[in-house]
Amino acid sequence: MCGIFGIITNQNNLSLGKVVLEGIKRLEYRGYDSCGIVSLSNSKLFVKKDSGKIDEIQKKINLAEIPNNSKLALAHTRWATHGAPTKINSHPHLDCSNKIAIVHNGIIENFIELRKDLINQGHIFKSDTDTEVIPHLIEQKMKEGLNFKDSIVEALKLCNGAYGLAVCHADYPDLIIVVRKESPLVIGIEEGKTTYLASDIPAFLPLTRKCYIMEDDELAVLKAGEVDFYDLKNDKKINKELQVIEWTIDAAEKGGYEHFMLKEIYEEPTAMQRTLKISKDLLQVFANILWSAENIYITAAGTSFYASLAGKFIVSRFLGKYIQAIECSEFQTQLSNSLKNNSVIIALSQSGETIDTVEAIRWAKSKKNVKILTITNVVGSTLTRYSDNVIVTQAGPEIGVAATKTYCTQVLTLALIALEIAKLRKVELDSDIEKYEMALKSTPQIIEKFLNENIDEIKNIVNTLEKSVQFFFLARGISIATAKEGGLKLKEVACRFIEGYSAAHAKHGPISLVREGFPIIFIAPPDETYQRLIGNVMEFKARGGKIISLVVEDDKTISELSDLTIRIPQPGDKYHNIFSPITFTPALQLLAYYASLLHGLDPDKPLNLSKTVTVH
Ligand code: F6R
């Protein structure tokens, strides 16, 4: 949800414009409605901004061209919330004197009142954004006699909401001030030379691996190659631990693939191999907590929610207790009168920053004595700070806006916890648990084999379905999660209308849409639902539906009933079938990817989406 990047340096040989452009481009997954850069030279601010994607704007107005002697710049790529994605509404935003510039990720909730007050005081607004109140508030505080830093602190005391923001001032060319409350911010440093700020580490990773992760209510004063941190609440200086990032930028770059989405699908086997190495001790901590819990909830958004649906199915199977999955945005409303003390809540989030997930957890903690178990892909993310125990999924950075490899690693993590529970409870024979473990460990190879051998088949199906604009994705049991996730991918990146639904339930309404040639994708692993699914396939076939089935390699019945078939290489036995969401979903991700290309879309930047949703 908006990306911000900034740099301040004392180096003469640095091509500032190029560095800023490359930095902000690495954050484009966070929003791509508009982009802007402010630089500073001879006590004047230079702003370039426009609507559109960064490459388009660069071509149009040469964004990266900034004054030669500038040693400081801030950049922003926007996902519009308040105000249309226009040039005027794009960041940076300035005060009336054009001395103060700000880039902001987050929302100032009380901006309407603040804006009215500022207009009454004579301030002139140019945009419709909530952000623009901040430079005017700072300007006002400076007029009242406060220094630059204190003006920012006092201005933010008037603002309700969330922010990760960076401010520069034409008269202070040797500093940038950044503040964080609920929107992520990291500071990168090359000591004595250059300091960077960004919404996410990959933005500066080719330049430095040393960084500080900012916490809520912290302010940082950035100078070239140095940084001081302050507690926003009491203005006291704080010491923060310098972190050295282990992974390299290759993990966050396309590495020869046309798109991040494709690269990240192909990374699934290795991401899963890493996830399989998560410490047994940690898995056992989660297993023990779940085993002794009476009420268990799981909450998440989007793809993470569908991973929750698959994962809770597997965990419940071995735990012998029901786990209630609630979308994070509904968590508070649904449990307002019924959340019980000692409940355990599993929060699932790739980014660890999705505001509705964070808020669900914060609310639960404020109401009752609950335990929070978080599964996330990002070390130190906001969610981890409210959690009692955290597992990091080891997928590596995911840049494509549509989640792919992180889905597989999330379900895999829950499956690993489930098997630890199975060992604790001893409700399965040891020999059976061993076979489940073997099956789970073979999932990376199954996916790898599929990715190596089935691309032509997927492309062929995509071509056959070129004219179709609406689809059903149907399944029973655990595969309903796969249907929903596969459908979501096609919806997001190929702009098709999808209903991901229970195959049994579909005859209570959705079936009325089926006409000759209507495509229905059935997810059909040979599990305990298979026989009944045959009946559902027949119902849709009888009405002219075009049947596309996802089955295992040696499937006979449903594939014979189907017009098109995708075969997943896995033995169809009970040990493998429970993990089918992990092995079946990559095929649907690929289907969505190639459908996106066929329709001339950019799978890495689906329309209207942003990877990290930090607004309610
Ligand atoms: C879909 C997608 C989103 C995210 C959702 C939650 O491809 O990426 O639906 O899954 O916004 O994000 P996290 O997992 O970061 O909480």
* Residue 613's pLDDT band (cuts 50, 70, 90): confident
Q: Of 94 and 245, which is predicted with more confidence?
A: 94
Question: Which among 208, 237, 252 is the end of a domain?
Answer: 252
Report which of residues 608 and 475 the model is more confident about. 475
What phi, psi does 197 have (nearest 5°)? -130, 150
CATH number for the domain including 45? Answer: 3.60.20.10
What DSSP line would sit under 490-547, residue for residue? Answer: HHHHH--EEEEEETTGGGGTGGGG--TT-EEEEE--SSTTHHHHHHHHHHHHHTTPEE
Share of residues in the chain with pLDDT > 90 (%): 88
Ligand 1: which of 199, 328, 350 to mutate, most ligand atoms within 8 Å of CB?
A: 350
The residue ranking higher by pLDDT, 488 or 184, is: 488
Predicted pLDDT of residue 571: 84
In a domain, 614, yes or no: no
Same domain for 556 and 428, yes or no, is: no
pLDDT value for 21: 96
pLDDT on residue 608:
81
The residue among 392, 418, 441 that closes a domain is: 441
Domain that holds residue 563: 452-604
Nearest by Cα to 324 from 293, 349, 350: 293
Q: Would 13 be classed as within a structural domain?
A: yes
Residue 316 has φ and ψ, to the nearest 5°, of: -60, -35
Q: How many domains does the chain have?
A: 3
Interacting residues of 429 by C-beta distance below 8 A, sequence separation 6+: none
Percentage with pLDDT > 70 across the chain: 100
401 with 417, same domain? yes
The per-residue pLDDT for 616 is 76
Could you tell me if residue 237 is inside a domain?
A: yes
Looking at the fold, whether 417 and 466 belong to one and the same domain comes out as no
State whether the Cα torsion 556-409-382-245 is positive or negative.
negative
> Does the annotation count 611 as an active-site position?
yes
* Separation of CA 410 and ligand 1 centre (Å): 12
**Predicted pLDDT of residue 211:** 95
**C-alpha torsion angle, residues 531, 532, 533, 534 (rounded to 10):** 60
Q: Rounded to the nearest whole angstrom, what is the distance from the C-alpha of residue 3 to the centroid of ligand 1?
A: 16
Neighbours of 413 (CB within 10 A): 28
| Residue nearest to ligand 1 atom 10, measured at CA | 303
In a domain, 616, yes or no: no
Task: Give yes or no for residue 615 having a pLDDT over 80.
Answer: no
Q: Among residues 411, 441, 471, which one ends one of the domains? A: 441
Task: List the residue whose alpha carbon is closest to atom 16 of ligand 1.
Answer: 349
Q: Higher model confidence: residue 518 or residue 382?
A: 518
Sheet strands side by side (includes 72-78): 44-51, 34-41, 72-78, 3-9, 194-198, 186-190, 210-213, 243-244
In a domain, 122, yes or no: yes
Tell me whether residue 149 is in a domain.
yes
Q: What is the CATH number for 595?
A: 3.40.50.10490
- The lowest-confidence range among 252-256, 297-301, 382-386, 398-402 is 252-256
Residue 465 shares a structural domain with residue 543:
yes
Q: Return the pLDDT at 271.
A: 96
Asked if residue 612 has pLDDT above 80, the reply is no
| 249: pLDDT strictly greater than 80 | no
- Tell me the pLDDT of the chain averaged across its residues: 95
Shared-domain flag, residues 383 and 236 = no
* Residue range 246-268: mean pLDDT, rounded: 86
The answer to whether residues 316 and 337 belong to one domain is: yes
Are 195 and 302 in the same domain?
Answer: no
The Cα–Cα gap between 123 and 341 comes to 50
- Host H or E run for residue 489: helix 479-494
> What pLDDT score does 154 carry?
96
Q: Is 357 in the same domain as 277? A: yes
Q: State residue 256's pLDDT score.
A: 83
Average pLDDT over residues 11-39: 93
Q: Is the pLDDT of residue 247 over 90?
A: no
Q: Which residues of 81-113 are buried (b: 16+ CB within 10 A; e: fewer)?
A: bbbebeebbbbbbbbbeebbbbbbbbbbeebee
> In sequence order, which residues have a C-beta less than 8 Å from that of residue 488 and are 6 or more positions away?
302, 303, 306, 498, 500
Looking at residue 570, what is its pLDDT? 86
Residue 344: inside a domain: yes
pLDDT of residue 19: 96
> Do 488 and 343 fall within a single domain?
no
- Tell how far the Cα of 403 is from the centroid of ligand 1, in angstroms: 6
Q: Are 139 and 123 in contact (CB under 8 A)?
A: yes
What residue ranges line ligand 1, CB within 6 angstroms? 301-304, 349-351, 354, 357, 402-403, 488, 492, 612-613
Amino acid at 550: L
Q: Is 27 part of a structural domain of the chain?
A: yes
Residue 162 parent element (H or E): strand 161-169
Q: What is the mean pLDDT of residues 515-535?
A: 97
Burial of 185: CB neighbours in 10 Å, binned 0-12, 13-18, 19+: buried
Q: Confirm whether 35 is a catalytic residue.
A: no
462 and 544 co-located in one domain = yes
Q: What is the DSSP string of 546-564?
A: EEEEEEETT--HHHHH-SE
Confidence of residue 183 (pLDDT cuts 50, 70, 90): confident
Q: Are residues 301 and 194 in the same domain?
A: no
The tokens describing 197, both together, are 């700020």
Are residues 466 and 535 part of one domain?
A: yes
How far is CA 178 from each of CA 37, 219, 435, 478, rounded to the nearest angstrom? Answer: 16, 6, 53, 46
- Summarize pLDDT for 157-171 with one digit per residue, the tens: 999 998 999 999 999
What per-residue confidence (pLDDT) applies to 82? 85
